[in-house]
Structure 1
Amino acid sequence: MATSAPAGLHLTDFVKRPSYGKIGRPIRVRTNYFEVISFPTSNIHHYDVTITPEVPPGLNRKIYKHFETLNAGALDNIKPVFDGRKNLFSAKKLPFGETATYDVVLPEDDGVTTSKRPPRAFKVKLKKVAEINMEELKRWLNQKAEISNNILTAIMALEVLIRHEPSMKYASVGRSFYTPEGAMALFGGAEVWQGYYQSVRPTPGKLMINVDLSATAFYQSGTLINMVVKILNKRNPDDLLRGVDRDRNKLEKELKGLKVCVNYRDENARKRRYKILKLTPLSADKAKFEYEGKSITVSQYFQKVRNMRLKYSMLPCVVVRKDTFFPIEICDVIPGQRHMRKLNEKQTADMIKFTCQQPHMRANKINQGIKLLNYHENEQMKQFHMQVSNEMKITNARILPTPTINYHISSRESAVTPRDGSWNLRDKRVATGATLGSWSVIAFGRDHDFPIMTIQNFIRELINTCSDTGMNIPNKNPPIMHANPIGNVEESVKQAWTRAGTASKQKPQLILCILPNTGTQLYGEIKYATDTVLGVASQCVQGRHVHGPKKQYCANVCLKINVKLGGMNSYLSPSLVPFIAERPSIMMGADVYHPGPGSTRPSIAALCASLDNHASRYASTIRVQSSREENIVDLFGMVKEMLRAFYQSCGKKPFRILFYRDGVSEGQFKKVLDSEIKSIKDACKSLDAAYNPKITFVVVQKRHHTRFFPLDRKDSDRTGNCFPGTVVETSVVHPVDFDFYLQSQAGLQGTCRPAHYHVLMDENGFTPDSLQALSYNLCYIYARCTRSVSIVPPVYYAHLICSRARFHSKSGNWSEESPEEEAEVTAASYNSVRPDLQKVMYFM
């Protein structure tokens, strides 16, 4: 347990942990943290590294390794550690004084992949920049020193130390390194490699190393001809003898940027590496170039000069320089190249199979990673006097009590206490059932794909289920129409909207869409039309569920439709959510969605907010902002909108705001807190100069590498995971800040990832028990399923709203497969959601 700090010491920029929670059944869990038994106590020397000419980090490491070998004597056999970019850390002062420059000439096999070969000679300049006081880090971990830049740099130096050796030996990406052992082939010439993530984490009184599994895709090595077979999904190379004219563009897109070497020349030539720039427009037996004053085809050249008959001369050649191209069959793919393109659906599904491992298997593999890392024998770590335990840390945890969920009083079972994080809708009616009077059905497909009788049968089953579940559907015969899924979708949806209004003489409330596939394009066009053009709720159902409808499926659809029309599915009794029940208080959830790698699309910010003292119904608002901007730029306007919506719904201003923020990494905490708290406070003041509600700001993180493994069999569910409600707030948390891990969901497959809640500001005086219980209980009233979910619903909803907003662009192209084709997608091309929909949960 952390020691108490001297009064007035600035230990953190955020909220200091007020105490420890007591609610729940105590248990013990094993975690993927390994204790640092000792770390350097004397100062670490920090040097700035400049390598000229400038090259990528992978090559920087090779240059550094060669420099270290050449200059071992000049460095007094001291083994510093290098981050591959600018920073070098040494346990002892290097002998050259303040600055020194060394010449390094790389041997021929250097891995250079640029199209124009840079000089083989490099200059490595080292310059002393600072000494890092390690004693200060030790004192801060024990709450006896203030947080400082020196402490942050000390942690960074130790991060570089633990990563130095693996990144010299293996393919490394960020904080993970990858090995080809046990790789699994993916569709299309890719394969997934097992990786190990490691990070130094400050915890109460100690440092820990968090070690976890990771996985990423690489290109399969081997002949380029085999790669082409896999990309084009052919059976064998002979299938390529007819040429690839129809698939040429697809092939060029997939091969662009791939690094290859030739396999027919002498040893030195084979070491040369080339990057594929494009394909030749013509095949090898038609593409010509000048040779000895004559025009000659590539095939003729190889026959005449190299005495080689090309077998696949009907294929295009790869262009590696402006005037250099090679036949595909003489190229090999260089091993260890990371697959940077977005994986397709099939590849993603295979990747999930590879990474999805039950808790005991994951724990075993992490322990294998510890053996591979072999901290005990690491030369650099010995020089720095850093020792790490080989045993996973065991820590205390608690299982919070399961809340009771309330349904309508007329239900046969109006209150339910779930077991293992899930329950069903049997004998239950929704808390507030919406009325559906004006609606229509549109089937995207031909009459024989979805016959009228089949659709009517599905509608009957859906209406019966909705009625049994407490919705009121007076209109049991909505108009039904068929439409072309690749025609003018917006026009078709408008027709369905008109038919709904004409048939019921009321404003349309819902359009039910039957889809022939799971593709993004049709779904996106429907949501664009209903959300931003017509302002009507829409419900998409998969065509396969329409044939022979099942009650369970219809019940899930009913939960979505009810909240889309302003109903409420379930709620918690006031005693379980005192923060929102005792006096008017608003829950807000915010997220920012960023486009995929290489894309220039804007980022999308979403905010949702509760509308009553049950926190079961939410309103929402969206802003489009510049690409990759993490701060929510117009949070002022968004909060103002949500406070107005709350007032219109309740007739009261909220006294308190609990703001859950998703998608922020630790390095951005301070920046986001400063700008976003100011926006929230300014929004309140703009409504009324005297209005000053108390704010609690909590960051919710899911992208982390902390996992828990139950120590005792009786504390695990049938999947081997911890039970829902497992909370951890000691040993592996922040040494000072108010944070905790909460696993609120039941295990379905693989190892559960707990959510990490980090309190950055708290004017409401939450205790750990009150915030943990509130956050956990809320996870049981996520409106679209009868399971507890992994993060609090306001954040989950904000995430759904961001995902939906991608479809609100007038560009009509929502594929992220081809970022180079999307330059025209700007903030101005996005439409707003119609005002009526913003007050209901249309995004479900």
Structure 2
Amino acid sequence: MSGLSLTEFVERPDPGGSAGRAIKVNANFFEITQLPNINVHHYDVTITPDVSPAVNRRIFEHMLVVYGSSELDDSRPVFDGRKNIFSPRVFPFDSKTFDITLPGDEVPQAVVPRRPPRAFKVKIKKASEINLEELHRFLNAESALSPNCLTAIMALDILIHHKPAMLYSSVGRSFFSPNGARPLSGGVEVWNGFYQSARPTLGRMLINLDVAATVYFQPGSLLELAVKILNYRHIGDLRRGLSDYDRGKLEKSLRGLLIKVTHRGDVRRSFKISKLTLTPASSTFFMKENTRTTVAAYFLQAYGRRLQYPFMPCVVTGKDVFLPMEICSVIEGQRHVKKLNETQTAEMIKFTCQPPQVRANKIKDGLQILNYHENEFLNDFGMRVANEMVQVDARVLPAPTISYHPSSRPATFVPRDGSWDLRGKRVTAGATLSSWGVVVFGTEQILSRASVGAFIRELIVTCVETGMKIPNKDPQVQYANPHGVIEDSLQNACTRARNAVGSQPQSQSQSQLLVCILPNKGVPLYAEIKRVGDTVIGIPTQCIQMAHTRDPKKNYCVNVCLKINVKLGGINAVLSPHQIPFLAEQPTILFGADVSHPSPGDTTRPSIASLVGSMDAKAAHYVATVRLQTARTEIIADLQGMVVELLRAFYETTRRRPQRILFYRDGVSEGQFVEVLHSEVASIRAACTSLWSNYEPTITFVVVQKRHHARFFPSRRDEGDAKGNCKAGTVVDTGIVHPFEFDFYLQSHASLQGTARPTHYHVLYDQNGFTSDGLQQFTYKLCHLYARCTRTVSLVPPAYYAHLVAARARFHFKGERWLDTESSQSNASESTYLAVKPELRRVMYFM
């Protein structure tokens, strides 16, 4: 491989790493034991008028019934639902247009006039002929990934997806079934499904098969759905009528939903909800045969039906068609694409969280459902798939030695199973907290002063035991209205805290804090506290759930202490320099970058790009910067300016220029690798030369991916952890990785629940000459230095911190109204983004 230029990214520098204890793991990949040994024929298809992929598939299926034998020589082609058809045999034409008429809805003529059949034109044009020899050469590391190889892999992907997409609800590379659906709160339910993807690796193609789950609206009565959306107890609660707030919330949830009517027999026609009427059915008027009448009166006259819920608004469909909600039924199979609220998210996690062995068994169930061996499309193409997971070589990397303050017992230790505790230990560098206050958002009847005092005493004792210095052990406590003006409450608490110590501290950012006790987990209050603390007052805030204050637990207080210490500039734990020579030998900066996008369907909010950079040789102190950019843009628009800002901060902190840069980039998909490489590495380089003309540090750029479907299962029970997962530090860099590029999977954490998800690291650019062992071990060691907990984490900390910074920046919009987990759509355009105050920009306020 050494003499070939196979990729513009980084080629694997060696056959793979050797550090650690060698083990075998089962991975949820299944080998394609026989690739098609024929030329595959690729056709471009255009269907007019433009309709959804699901309707396109019905058109395609109908076309095969009508024209399959006469025009397509009995070929059994596969279709992606959009633009591509692949056939094992050549069609007897280069280009042809077919007229397809889908049958109309089967509706009794006496009930409603039959809807006209739907006519479509299907134009099929020869695109190319794929010889899989080029794919074989790529898999054997003999040639680069050419457009022909990409098309061949796409053809295999479409081949394995075609039949499930015809039988089930299809979303991307996954398909779902209502069998075994579980209801969530808010009128939605979780459907189980399976994900599958054709993946190239050295010498062979694999199918990555995993369980999947997504959320659909519950079918059936629209009124019952409304009850669940509004969180009412039962349908009788609707008799009170709807407030303007509830009507708006309901309209936002129902807009775009497909319904059918239940008052006209077996009518199969669907209607799309565009909005709700402002008036109830009893006073919503329309013209019928030159007579002005209400919806309720019309239904009584036309159908002899007296509405039970005339006080409910009507749904509006089409061009001013008003339908009472009680005669509407939600059609099954409509996906809920909006962001779930906090309760729904917790329920979803509970439903989808499965122990490793359960997940492995469900994946095997999926293999039975897919039944590759008897799939007539695969058989027609001559493709065969193994029915057992692949077993691959893996290694468990050794954990590093973690160091705390020399007075700790012990001061250094090697963690076991990815976690440790702080008993007998003191943080490496404890911050001093002299001026601080406590704000309780509630009343003394809800949480007494005695309870607050007891919790604060326990917190102080814990902080002092772990090495912080707290001269003021009697902070000012005040109560505040959680529904009042939060900014005024925090400003007042801040003033009282300063006055209590006689004068403002010299370094406000390092020695002042507001502890805020919150009545619940609601987002609006938390978001406003963070906005005010970060962008108005300029002091760190530490939020505490009220439930934890009534019976303060030592472990909880320890976790709070860890957060407070780093927010005030302290250092919790470090690794000795000889363990991380890449950081210690030369001035080196670690970057972590992420881009956070608005929720699906949100057309007004921007994307947020975040960048953090390490400021010391211990990788303990980071500084963050944020930029807003065009929504859904993945490339960081002002990366040059952001890197300049953090390089300047590094120089001002250390009086040295970094000679090496290691950049961990989160949130990039494979299809964006080339664009990110070209744009962002150039931006980093431009930032360096804009600061100092001859400044050219060596750069390594690594993409970090968590959104993938690779999972590992110990092949022997004694090689797993107590939960049945692979042990923390498990790394895989053979068998299921890229044929020749530098990538690896690292499961750096011990999962608390469910099946652990490894993180995929892919090196796009490397001037630092990393070996597989070098980058894998360095990354794993960093995962022990996440400041908020005493566990290894699943994501390398610079990328983790960048994610936290981007999430925090969402709260920095003045004028937002936070509902559940997201702001109201109507208010977004009126909100203003506020930057973090200068006092906080050099501390880890986002922790």
Give TM-score, length-normalised by structure 1.
Answer: 0.95
Question: What is the aligned partner in structure 2 of residue 493 from structure 1?
Answer: 490
One-letter amino acid of the structure 2 residue matched with residue 260 of structure 1: I
Distance 1:289 1:644, change over 3 A: closer
- Residue 230 in structure 1 maps to residue 228 in structure 2: yes
CA-CA distance at 1:412 after TM superposition: 2.1
Question: What is the aligned partner in structure 2 of residue 632 from structure 1?
Answer: 636
Question: What is the aligned partner in structure 2 of residue 548 from structure 1?
Answer: 551
Task: Point out the more displaced range, 479-488 or 815-824.
Answer: 815-824
Q: Partners in 1 of 2:687 and 2:606 — Cα distance? A: 24
Match 1:152 to one of 124, 130, 150: 150
Q: Partners in 1 of 2:154 and 2:39 — Cα distance? A: 14
One-letter amino acid of the structure 1 residue matched with residue 427 of structure 2: V
Question: What is the aligned partner in structure 1 of residue 566 from structure 2?
Answer: 563
Match 1:593 to one of 561, 584, 596: 596
Question: What is the aligned partner in structure 2 of residue 325 from structure 1?
Answer: 322
- Counterpart contact for 1:17–1:739, Cα < 8 Å: no
One-letter amino acid of the structure 2 residue matched with residue 206 of structure 1: R
- Counterpart contact for 2:816–2:828, Cα < 8 Å: no
Question: What is the aligned partner in structure 2 of residue 297 from structure 1?
Answer: 294
Q: Partners in 2 of 1:191 and 1:597 — Cα distance? A: 18
CA-CA distance at 1:9 after TM superposition: 3.9
Question: What is the aligned partner in structure 2 of residue 725 from structure 1?
Answer: 729
Match 2:712 to one of 693, 708, 713: 708
Q: Partners in 2 of 1:323 and 1:306 — Cα distance? A: 20
Match 2:14 to one of 15, 18, 25: 18
One-letter amino acid of the structure 1 residue matched with residue 597 of structure 2: H
- Counterpart contact for 1:601–1:822, Cα < 8 Å: no
Q: Partners in 1 of 2:522 and 2:531 — Cα distance? A: 15
Task: Point out the more displaced range, 330-339 or 163-172.
Answer: 330-339
- Counterpart contact for 1:809–1:825, Cα < 8 Å: no
CA-CA distance at 1:577 after TM superposition: 1.0
Q: Partners in 1 of 2:224 and 2:332 — Cα distance? A: 14
Task: For 1:61-460, list aligned pairs within 5 A.
Answer: 61-73=57-69, 74-95=71-92, 97-109=93-105, 120-244=118-242, 247-267=246-266, 270-460=267-457
Distance 1:257 1:812, change over 3 A: closer
- Counterpart contact for 1:241–1:312, Cα < 8 Å: yes
Q: Partners in 2 of 1:243 and 1:306 — Cα distance? A: 24
Query: What percentage of aligned pairs have identical amino acids?
Result: 56
CA-CA distance at 1:34 after TM superposition: 0.5
- Counterpart contact for 1:185–1:191, Cα < 8 Å: yes
- Counterpart contact for 2:256–2:272, Cα < 8 Å: yes
Unaligned runs of 5+ in 2: 108-114
Task: For 1:455-494, list aligned pairs within 5 A.
Answer: 455-494=452-491
Deviation string, structure 1 residues 136-167 (Cα, Å, up to 9, x no partner): 01111001122211111111111111111111
Deviation string, structure 1 residues 377-401 (Cα, Å, up to 9, x no partner): 1122112111111111111111111
CA-CA distance at 1:449 after TM superposition: 2.9
- Counterpart contact for 1:204–1:736, Cα < 8 Å: yes
One-letter amino acid of the structure 2 residue matched with residue 669 of structure 1: F
- Counterpart contact for 1:399–1:726, Cα < 8 Å: yes
One-letter amino acid of the structure 1 residue matched with residue 249 of structure 2: K
- Residue 772 in structure 1 maps to residue 776 in structure 2: yes
- Residue 786 in structure 1 maps to residue 790 in structure 2: yes
CA-CA distance at 1:819 after TM superposition: 5.3
Question: What is the aligned partner in structure 1 of residue 112 from structure 2?
Answer: none
One-letter amino acid of the structure 2 residue matched with residue 122 of structure 1: F
One-letter amino acid of the structure 2 residue matched with residue 152 of structure 1: L
Question: What is the aligned partner in structure 1 of residue 534 from structure 2?
Answer: 531
- Residue 838 in structure 1 maps to residue 838 in structure 2: no
Q: How many residues align?
A: 831
CA-CA distance at 1:129 after TM superposition: 1.7
One-letter amino acid of the structure 1 residue matched with residue 829 of structure 2: E
Q: For 2:536, what is the secondary structure of its paired residue?
A: helix
Q: For 2:675, what is the secondary structure of its paired residue?
A: helix
Task: Point out the more displaced range, 289-298 or 705-714.
Answer: 289-298
Write out the 4+ residue segments of structure 1 that deviate beyond 6 Å after TM superposition. none
Distance 1:645 1:245, change over 3 A: closer
Q: Partners in 2 of 1:486 and 1:544 — Cα distance? A: 19
- Residue 821 in structure 1 maps to residue 826 in structure 2: yes
Distance 1:458 1:118, change over 3 A: farther
Q: Partners in 2 of 1:603 and 1:825 — Cα distance? A: 16
Match 1:686 to one of 685, 690, 712: 690
- Residue 672 in structure 1 maps to residue 668 in structure 2: no
- Counterpart contact for 2:179–2:191, Cα < 8 Å: yes
Q: Partners in 2 of 1:839 and 1:398 — Cα distance? A: 38
- Counterpart contact for 1:436–1:472, Cα < 8 Å: yes
Deviation string, structure 1 residues 263-282 (Cα, Å, up to 9, x no partner): 23354xx1211112223333
Q: Partners in 2 of 1:702 and 1:337 — Cα distance? A: 27
Deviation string, structure 1 residues 228-265 (Cα, Å, up to 9, x no partner): 34334445544445544564333333322221112233
CA-CA distance at 1:817 after TM superposition: 4.2
Match 1:503 to one of 500, 503, 518: 500
Distance 1:484 1:172, change over 3 A: same
One-letter amino acid of the structure 2 residue matched with residue 57 of structure 1: P
One-letter amino acid of the structure 1 residue matched with residue 332 of structure 2: P
- Counterpart contact for 1:221–1:332, Cα < 8 Å: yes
Question: What is the aligned partner in structure 2 of residue 614 from structure 1?
Answer: 618
- Counterpart contact for 2:38–2:381, Cα < 8 Å: no
Distance 1:603 1:181, change over 3 A: same
CA-CA distance at 1:681 after TM superposition: 1.0
